[in-house]
Amino acid sequence: MDILLRLLVAVGLAVDAWVHWDFAPEMEPGPRGAGGAIPGDDLFRAQAILAAVAGVLVLAWARKWTYAIAFLVAGSAVGALLLYYYVDVGRLGPIPAMHDPHWYSEKTICLIGEGVATLAAAVGFFVVNRLRTQE
């Protein structure tokens, strides 16, 4: 079960990383520091990098802390995707307005990957010690 959870988290986060990296050039780049907002392309690249690193961490070390990091990265991505789809919150501090009420296949793929990674990371967090003692 340990390897299955690790693979589910890693593959889900890999999908998240791929979609965000692929979409980064299409996001509003804007001039650096314009009004204090972080450019959208930088946010998408940062999410891609965080997702990739979290996936590698879980593959390399299946520990509570790596599952917790993966859960936070994937869960926050699910939350942001759904929030910005349903609600036009405008700009939130340095985060630019990113409302996107359109749904397309890449968004579905990303949501599935992030959702699977979130759930698998949560399960992994709670069972990782039990799995290690059974080995």
Instruction: Give the Cα separation of 73 and 23 in Å (integer).
Output: 18
Given a contact cutoff of 8 angstroms between Cβ atoms, the answer to whether 90 and 28 are in contact is no
* Statement: the pTM of the whole predicted model exceeds 0.75: yes
- The enclosing H or E element of 13 equals helix 2-23
- Top-confidence residue, 133 or 44: 44
Query: In whole angstroms, how far apart are CA 18 and each of 9, 48, 98, 106?
Result: 14, 7, 19, 10
Q: Per residue in 50-104, pLDDT tens? A: 999 999 999 999 999 999 999 999 999 999 999 999 999 998 888 888 899 999 9
**What's the confidence (pLDDT) of residue 10?**
98
- The enclosing H or E element of 18 equals helix 2-23
Length of the chain equals 135
Given a contact cutoff of 8 angstroms between Cβ atoms, the answer to whether 126 and 36 are in contact is no
**What's the confidence (pLDDT) of residue 35?**
67
Which pair of tokens denotes residue 128?
Answer: 């990782």
pLDDT at 15 over 70: yes
pLDDT at 121 over 70: yes
pLDDT at 33 over 80: no
Please give the mean pLDDT across all residues of the chain. 90
Q: Which of 18-32, 68-82, 116-130 has the lowest mean pLDDT?
A: 18-32
